[in-house]
């Protein structure tokens, strides 16, 4: 059941992990970055040292899957906070698009804009995709759990939008 006014359908808690295609390996230092958030404020990964980070990459604001995923993270946000983690969403959408998306859904976490997809590429989430026979480069829905010292604890690629938030919360609880 969705609470807190999020009008999103709920999904199940199962996600496939395909580590062989992930650029970042578990136990390595997560690349630091500086990106603008939905308010135009510069944020660095290093700003969150001392806190666990759930860093998720998603294709596009206001699409069905990305809305389901964001709403899932929003619903579970209190549990992530209880476990000492912050949630950061990243896409190549503009700061203004992120602001509209955040306000529309009432998202309680930070969205980061990477229009040049430099950070997306550094984390291995910019890959070749195929849709209806067309091949193109784009964001593969991926999530990284990063520890208090900036080390990658878990890397999940090609996650299902509706399953990803609960799956990451479960993984965080198992650490």
Q: Could you tell me which of 131, 146, 117 has the C-alpha nearest to residue 31? A: 146
Contact call for residues 147 and 52 (beta carbons, < 8 A): yes
66 is a catalytic site residue: yes
The tokens for 53 are 């980070």
In degrees and rounded to multiples of 5, residue 116 shows phi and psi of -95, 5
Let me know how long the chain is: 175
CA distances from 148 to 8, 52, 99, 135, 145 (A): 31, 5, 27, 38, 10
**Rounded distance, CA 92 to CA 34, Å?**
14
Catalytic-role residue among 35, 53, 66, 120 = 66
- Strands 126-131, 42-44: parallel, antiparallel or unpaired by DSSP? unpaired
Residues assigned a catalytic role:
66
């Amino acid at each position: 059941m969705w609470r807190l006014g999020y009008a999103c359908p709920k999904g199940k808690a199962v996600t496939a992990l395909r580590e062989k295609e992930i650029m970042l390996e578990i136990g390595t230092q997560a690349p630091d970055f500086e990106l603008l958030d939905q308010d135009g404020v510069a944020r660095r990964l290093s700003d969150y040292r001392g806190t666990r980070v759930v860093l998720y990459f998603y294709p596009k604001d206001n699409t069905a899957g990305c809305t389901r995923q964001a709403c899932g993270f929003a619903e579970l946000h209190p549990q992530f906070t209880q476990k000492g983690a912050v949630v950061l969403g990243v896409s190549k959408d503009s700061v203004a698009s992120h602001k509209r998306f955040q306000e529309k859904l009432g998202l309680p976490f930070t969205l980061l804009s990477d229009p040049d997809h430099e950070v997306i590429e550094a984390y291995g989430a910019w890959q070749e995709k195929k849709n209806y026979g067309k091949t193109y480069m784009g964001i593969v829905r991926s999530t990284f759990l990063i520890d208090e010292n900036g080390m990658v604890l878990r890397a999940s690629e090609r996650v299902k939008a509706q399953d990803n938030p609960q799956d990451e919360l479960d993984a965080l609880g198992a650490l």
